[in-house]
Amino acid sequence: MSESIWAAIRSEPPATTPFSSNCPSRVVLDHVTSKWGVLVLVALSRDSMRWGELHRYVEGISEKMLAQTLRQLESDGFVLRESMGTVPPRVDYSLTALGQELAALLIPLVQWVGDNVGRTTVPLGATA
């Protein structure tokens, strides 16, 4: 009994890939590639931004989704939240070192998509 426990503990997390259904990276990947996650991460890649700035910059995002996305990315360790504790409140959001590594990979992607929408055959009228 104790043996099986130790065996289980000792056994390495069996080198799962994002293609494995139980791989933790699936979760992170979902956060990162979420509808708003990508845009927020890229938005913060230039410089830190305040809540209101982000809200205006990432057009169309609701307050709820902005809050949710930021909390998510913060809990993943990609975003740093700094409250200045002033009145009226001022809160700055920036990328952590980890977040910057990630954003570095996201930028070319967003850039490419932006540049090449015209080459795609996306059914017109899909404005959503």
Partner DNA sequence: CAGTATCCGCCATGATACTG
Partner DNA sequence: CAGTATCATGGCGGATACTG
Per CB under 7 A, residues contacting DNA are 34-36, 50-53, 60-65, 67-68, 71, 81, 83, 88-91, 93
Residue ranges in 29-88 that form contacts with its own copies under rule CB under 8 A: 29-35, 38-39, 42-43, 57-60, 75-78
- What is the per-residue burial (b if ≥16 Cβ within 10 Å, else e) of 83-105? eeeeeeeebbbebeeebeebbee
From the list 3-11, 22-30, 62-70, 79-87, the region that binds its own copies by CB under 8 A is: 22-30
**8 A C-beta contact, residue 31 and residue 63:** no
Backbone angles phi, psi at 50, to 5 degrees: -85, 165
For residue 4, the partner it binds in DNA, its own copies, none, with Cβ less than 5 to 8 A by kind, is none
